[in-house]
Amino acid sequence: MNDIIEQLQEMSETVPVPLELATFEQIVEVEEEILIPLPMELKEYLLYASDVICGSLEPVTASDPNSHTYLPEVAAYAWSIGLPREFIPICQQGDSFFFISQEGQIQLWQDDEIYEDDSWESFWDWAEDVWMRS
């Protein structure tokens, strides 16, 4: 995990208005808002790497409720169009979502279908294989 966070931070683009890392309190607020606990690796990402901007994908964030990547807003939309409620979206691409299960596995949901072939054992595996290469 630490190696991937370091790589992400090295790859991060400089932008006029940088993202902020989430605080523990903000993560608790997000959990209360979506009424589901966040898996540990998603919390780690939000605390230590959610300020990274790299590639074409924009994973969810928890520090700015006005951001288009704010987790409760992304989740509300994903659930409203059919993503099963027990899954938490981690990254939106149009009406497709990468999501995390309570066990920490990442999969792709697209066209009302979970793609079993697109699966990663952890958030960090997904970050390395998908986000960093986007």
pLDDT tens string for the chain (134 positions)? 889 999 999 998 888 888 899 999 999 999 999 999 999 999 999 999 999 999 999 999 999 999 999 999 999 999 999 999 999 999 999 999 999 999 999 999 999 999 988 899 999 999 999 999 99
Please work out, in degrees rounded to the nearest 5, the angle formed at the alpha carbon of residue 118 by the alpha carbons of 95 and 74.
30
Q: Rounded to whole angstroms, what are the CA distances from 107 to 27, 80, 93, 110, 130?
A: 22, 18, 13, 10, 11
CA–CA separation, 32 and 132 (whole Å): 30
Residue 25 CB coordination number (10 Å)? 8
Q: What is the pTM for the complete model shown?
A: 0.95
113-120 and 96-100 beta bridge pairing: unpaired
